[in-house]
Structure 1
Amino acid sequence: MCGIAGIFHIETAKPVDPARVVRMTDAIAHRGPDGSGVWTAPGIGLGHRRLSIIDLGGGAQPMATPDESLVVTFNGEIYNFAEVRRELEAKGHRFRTGSDTEVILHGYRQWGEDCVHRFDGMFAFALYDAHANALWLVRDRLGVKPLLYAPLSDGSIIFASELKGLLAHPLLRREPDVTAIEDYMAYGYVPDDACLVAGVRKLGAGETLRLVRGQPVGKAQRYWNISFADRSSNSPQALEEELVSLMRAAVRSRMVADVPLGAFLSGGVDSSSVVALMAEASGQAVKTCTIGFDVAALDETAYADRIARRFATDHRTRIVSADDYGLIDTLAYHFDEPFADASALPTYRVCELARENVTVALSGDGADEAFAGYRRHRFQHQGEKLRALIPEAVRRPLFGTLGRLYPKADWAPRGLRAKSTFLELAQDGAEAYAASVGVTPHALRQKLYTPGMAAALAGHRAEDRYVAAMRNAPARDPLDRAQYADMTIWLPGDILTKTDRMSMAVGLEAREPLLDHRLMAFAARLPVGQRIRGNSGKYLMKKAMEAYLPQDILYRPKMGFVTPISEWFRGPLAGQASAVAGGSAIARTDLFDLKAIARAAADHRAGLADHGRLLWQLVMLEKSLARLFGL
């Protein structure tokens, strides 16, 4: 894993100052602590920070062909590089290194832009083609690795793995994009088609962008997309066998490394499955690590210990305080844009623990999106069945009235919090699901905004992105549509951003075998009954892993990383919540109604409402606004 950055003059081939590229790569030095490099030519400068994983001695970057007609700077891993290399060698290509980076150069020379279809991995790279006067930007199919770019006033395009790499360039204007603030307040993260810094763009998952000198900047092109349009007709037994085979291959391909390798282990289905298949493939004990909490209700270490003993792993556990809010400033620095998924705190800690012993760690990310593992998937599936039974002319007024009349009972047991359920049943499936994945509902956001903010949004509503994705999805069933939206919006914007930034913060490479694109495509073809059965998601995956894992591991309720943010804002962080409504960066934007924020903070402290997630969002937004714009 690495960090990349660069400058491409798209109008004329102006000289590029190598020191400017160095400043950009230095800003992301944490991504590559093992080395750095810069390559420049008229109109182009490429930079690289290296975390050495493959070919430790010979994989330095930027890497060029002998005649320097092709040069690449690359972040990620191509897991099938040995196979692609053999194919290229059979066609007469000669390699000078043992790295996967060189495969990109020769692959492009042989197949042109079609080479990306042959690469199995997680990657973001920039390849300069001197003969074509072109820079080709590429991001992997699922968006595991990030790549941001922006046009500048001097006629150049800059790119980097993280926003802070772009911010190191003095010509990048720093102005907030209010639509991205709306998106963030809705989701708790800034999606891939938006950026808090106006004018900055993110290359989307499965996209490429070709920049040619002397031509206008065009649109990114999608070279891969997940499709739910087809259904497998195989028997359940055949599907189980195929799934295990795909998972086994994905895990084994991600165990190739020239440095120490291990795995995160929570004791849940996903990470336990990865560890089980790693143990099967490894000739020595797999190194695993787990973070536990000093609050029993949040702690899963007992489950992780069981899996560690079952597969005789070299296991390490560290107990951390649930009150780990001291990491707030560290999170704000590494995410750049505001990021309010509080599970980033324990994710940072488990990455920190893993890095003490390994340089590469496999995770279980991706299975919930692929196999319908989230509770909201089950609710959506059940809700759509009910919507199909009740005519819309009856359903909308009936459930709409119940939703308006039913009290908002944040304090009540979950089964009694029916207000949001009634309101969602009054909507169509796409609108309801878009609301369910959000953090701060649209109505509450409207109360928080000033009239100036509402006018600046000009009708932009964050949920419309989810609604459009679901309605336009290549899908056959409402559950397909929900999963498609999650895979294309939530997965790269939240889950993979979190894993990338937190692992890179400590110089650790995280690999996600359950995000293998062939495995994801297989899951998308599964009949709905093989994804959700009764009240259980990930049905086929759990059945397939029964030969490896105990029943109580497979079928226990999902926990995930939990942080007590609501308690924090009634205790040690109460002052920070109040400060947001005072002389803060948020206050200086004139976009938020400070009295409404103060009321929300006061109601939360008094226990009249649960605004913990909202207050966490506002605190993280405050820190990003201050860092990015000096407010």
Structure 2
Amino acid sequence: MCGIAGIFHCGVPKPVDPSRVVRMCDAIAHRGPDGSGVWTAAGIGLGHRRLSIIDLEGSPQPMHSADGDAVIVFNGEIYNFRELRRELEGQGAVFRTDGDTEVILAAWQRWGVDCLDRLNGMFAFALYDLKRKELLLARDRLGVKPLFMAELSDGSLAFASELKGLLVHPLLRREADPRAVEDYMTWGYVPDHRSILKGVEKLPAGHFRLLKHGTQPAPPRQWWDVDFSNRKQGSVADLSAELLHHMRDGVTSRMQADVPLGAFLSGGVDSSSVVALMSEATQDPVTTCSIGFDVAALDETGYAETVAKQFGTSHHSRIVDPNDFHAIDRLVQIYDEPFADASALPTLRVCELAREHVTVALSGDGADEAFAGYRRQVFHAREEQARGIIPAGLRKPLFGSLGAVWPKADWAPRPLRAKSTLLSLAEDGAVGYARSLSVIPPELREHLFSDKLTRQLGDYRAEQPLIEMMRNAPAQSGLDRAQYADLKFWLQGDILTKVDRASMSVGLEAREPLLDHRLIEFGAALPHKARIKGTQGKWLIKNTMERYLPQDILYRPKQGFVTPISEWFRGPLAAEARGIVSGAGLARTGWFDNKVLSGIIEDHISGKSDYGRILWQLMMLDKSIDHLSIAG
């Protein structure tokens, strides 16, 4: 795992200052503490920071092809590189190293951009062809590895694995994008189609850019998509056997490493399944890591220990203080863009624990999105049934009116929290799912925003790109569309961002075997009844893993990492909450109505209402503005 950075002149190939690329790489040195390198030529500069995982001494980067005609910097792992190498050697390719980086170079020279379809892995890379004078920027199918880009005033395109790699470039503007603020306040993160800074882009997952000197910069082109429009046929036994085959392949392919390897173990279905299949594939004890809290309602270490004992793992656990708010400033430094998923704190802690024992850790991320494991997906499937029965002309006035007057009751048991459901049922499926996925609904955002930000946004609403994505998805049903949105929108913006930045901040490589694209494509083709049965999401995985895992692991209610942010803002962070209104960052921007902010802060601190999630978003935004030195 590594960090990459570079500069490419799309117009006249001006000289690239190597020291500038060095500074960009130094800004992301945490991603690659084991080595560094920079290469420049007319109009191009490539830089690399290396975390050695495979072929520890033999694959330095930037790396040239055997014939010297191409050079690459690469972040990620190609899990089928040995098979590709044998195929390429059969066609005359010569290799000097034992790693996967050189295989990408040979694949490019043999197949051009079609080489991407042959790569099974997580990656973001920049490959320069000296004969064609072309630069290929590419990102893996699901967006596990990031790549930020910015077109600069001197005609160059700068790129880096993290935003901080671009921030050190003197020509990068630090002007906030108002639409990114709207996006962030809606979702709790800045999605992949946006950046907090104007002029900065993220290469979308499953896309590439092919750039050539003397031409206008080419836009990203999609090379992979997940298709929910077809259905597999077969008995439960046949589907289960095929699922297990793909899960085993995903796990075993990601166990290749020349350094210590282990797994995150939360005690949930997905991480436990990964550990079970890892244990099946090796004679040695698997190293597992979990964290817990000293509050019983938040702690899952007992379940993790049950799985660890069952499979004889070398298990490491640590109890984390749930009042771990002193790490907030570090999170701001790690994520650069405002990021308000509060589970980033425990994610960072489990990465720190894992790094004490291993260099590579397998996670269970991805199965909920691909196999309908989220409660919201199950609820959405039920709502879609209701929409199919009740005509839209009746639903909108009936449920819209009820939803408008129904009290918001976050404190109530889940079945009594009807307001969001009623408002969702009043709309079509895409609009309804966007509402269920959002953290702050549009009517509350409008209340929070100042007149200035409202004017800047015009008629833009953050839900629009998600709704459009769902309506245009290659899908048959509302559930398909919801899962498509989770895989293409939520997964990259929240889950994968959280894990990539937290793990790389401590020099740990995280791998996601349940995001193997063959497994994702299999899940997208499953019939509904294999995904959801009754109130059980992710049904086929649970049914299949019954041969490995106990019932209380498979069928207990889903619980994620929980951080007690509401309590913090009524206690140790109350002063921080009150300081949001007068904080240097937000006050400088003028994006929010200070009177409204003061009201919700005092209502929360007094216990009148629960605005903890909103206050967390505002605080992280305020601190990020200062971190990025945004002028407003």
TM-score range, shorter chain: over 0.9
- 1:455 maps to 455
1:512 aligns with 2:519: no
Kept in 2: contact 1:7–1:159 (CA 8 A): yes
Q: CA deviation at 1:452?
A: 1.3
- 1:269 maps to 269
Q: Distance in 2 between matches of 1:478 and 1:16?
A: 50
- 1:72 maps to 72
- 1:29 maps to 29
- 1:311 maps to 311
Q: Distance in 1 between matches of 2:420 and 2:12?
A: 56
Kept in 1: contact 2:66–2:94 (CA 8 A): no
- 1:227 maps to 227
1:81 aligns with 2:81: yes
Q: Distance in 2 between matches of 1:483 and 1:512?
A: 18
1:130 aligns with 2:107: no
Q: CA deviation at 1:399?
A: 1.3
* Partner-residue secondary structure (3-state), 2:567: helix
What amino acid is aligned across from residue 40 of structure 1 in structure 2? T
Q: CA deviation at 1:318?
A: 0.2
Kept in 2: contact 1:72–1:126 (CA 8 A): yes
Q: Distance in 2 between matches of 1:274 and 1:67?
A: 41
Q: CA deviation at 1:139?
A: 0.1
Q: CA deviation at 1:629?
A: 2.2
Aligned counterparts, 1:307-386, within 5 A: 307-386=307-386
Kept in 1: contact 2:601–2:615 (CA 8 A): yes
Greater shift after overlay, 64-73 or 296-305?
Answer: 64-73
Aligned counterparts, 1:404-553, within 5 A: 404-553=404-553
Moved over 6 A (4+): none
Instruction: State the TM-score, normalized to the length of structure 1.
Output: 0.99
What amino acid is aligned across from residue 55 of structure 2 in structure 1? D
Could you list the per-position Cα deviations for residues 493-521 of structure 1 after superposition, in whole angstroms to 9, with x for gaps in the alignment?
10000010000010000000000000000
What amino acid is aligned across from residue 427 of structure 2 in structure 1? Q
1:565 aligns with 2:561: no
Q: CA deviation at 1:55?
A: 0.1
Instruction: State the TM-score, normalized to the length of structure 2.
Output: 0.99
Kept in 1: contact 2:189–2:338 (CA 8 A): yes
Kept in 2: contact 1:144–1:500 (CA 8 A): yes
What amino acid is aligned across from residue 311 of structure 2 in structure 1? F
Q: Distance in 2 between matches of 1:13 and 1:477?
A: 49
Kept in 2: contact 1:531–1:537 (CA 8 A): yes
What amino acid is aligned across from residue 498 of structure 1 in structure 2? K
* Partner-residue secondary structure (3-state), 2:305: helix
Q: Distance in 1 between matches of 2:194 and 2:594?
A: 25
Percent of residue pairs identical: 62
Kept in 2: contact 1:407–1:419 (CA 8 A): yes
- 2:579 maps to 579
Kept in 1: contact 2:359–2:509 (CA 8 A): yes
Kept in 2: contact 1:158–1:166 (CA 8 A): yes
- 1:295 maps to 295
* Partner-residue secondary structure (3-state), 1:569: helix
Q: Distance in 2 between matches of 1:234 and 1:131?
A: 50
Greater shift after overlay, 512-521 or 447-456?
Answer: 447-456
* Partner-residue secondary structure (3-state), 1:75: strand
* Partner-residue secondary structure (3-state), 2:149: strand
What amino acid is aligned across from residue 86 of structure 2 in structure 1? R
Could you list the per-position Cα deviations for residues 498-556 of structure 1 after superposition, in whole angstroms to 9, with x for gaps in the alignment?
01000001000000000000000000000011101000000000001010001111000
Q: CA deviation at 1:630?
A: 4.8
- 1:106 maps to 106
- 2:153 maps to 153
Kept in 1: contact 2:177–2:197 (CA 8 A): yes
Q: CA deviation at 1:412?
A: 2.1
Aligned counterparts, 1:162-181, within 5 A: 162-181=162-181
Kept in 2: contact 1:124–1:145 (CA 8 A): yes
Greater shift after overlay, 388-397 or 594-603?
Answer: 388-397
What amino acid is aligned across from residue 564 of structure 1 in structure 2? P
Kept in 2: contact 1:278–1:286 (CA 8 A): yes
Q: Distance in 1 between matches of 2:437 and 2:215?
A: 40
Kept in 2: contact 1:410–1:609 (CA 8 A): no
1:117 aligns with 2:140: no
Q: Distance in 1 between matches of 2:140 and 2:252?
A: 19
Q: Distance in 1 between matches of 2:141 and 2:51?
A: 22
- 1:596 maps to 596
- 2:237 maps to 237
Kept in 1: contact 2:175–2:630 (CA 8 A): no
Greater shift after overlay, 358-367 or 564-573?
Answer: 564-573
* Partner-residue secondary structure (3-state), 2:144: coil
What amino acid is aligned across from residue 301 of structure 1 in structure 2? T
Greater shift after overlay, 254-263 or 567-576?
Answer: 567-576
Change (3 A) 1:446 1:589: same
* Partner-residue secondary structure (3-state), 1:581: helix
Structure 1: any 5+ residue segments left out of the alignment? none
Q: CA deviation at 1:583?
A: 3.9
Q: Distance in 1 between matches of 2:495 and 2:570?
A: 27
* Partner-residue secondary structure (3-state), 2:290: strand
Q: CA deviation at 1:185?
A: 0.4
* Partner-residue secondary structure (3-state), 1:185: helix
Q: CA deviation at 1:68?
A: 3.0
Kept in 2: contact 1:411–1:609 (CA 8 A): no
What amino acid is aligned across from residue 462 of structure 2 in structure 1? A
Could you list the per-position Cα deviations for residues 71-94 of structure 1 after superposition, in whole angstroms to 9, with x for gaps in the alignment?
000000000000000000111111
Could you list the per-position Cα deviations for residues 163-184 of structure 1 after superposition, in whole angstroms to 9, with x for gaps in the alignment?
0001111111111000001000
Q: CA deviation at 1:410?
A: 2.4
Q: Distance in 1 between matches of 2:419 and 2:13?
A: 60
Structure 2: any 5+ residue segments left out of the alignment? none
Greater shift after overlay, 323-332 or 20-29?
Answer: 323-332
* Partner-residue secondary structure (3-state), 1:255: coil
Q: CA deviation at 1:380?
A: 0.3
Kept in 2: contact 1:259–1:360 (CA 8 A): yes
Q: Distance in 2 between matches of 1:629 and 1:196?
A: 12
Q: CA deviation at 1:67?
A: 4.4
- 1:620 maps to 620
Kept in 1: contact 2:583–2:622 (CA 8 A): no
Report the aligned-residue RMSD: 0.9
Aligned residue-pair number? 631
Could you list the per-position Cα deviations for residues 443-492 of structure 1 after superposition, in whole angstroms to 9, with x for gaps in the alignment?
11001111111111121100111111110000001000000011100001
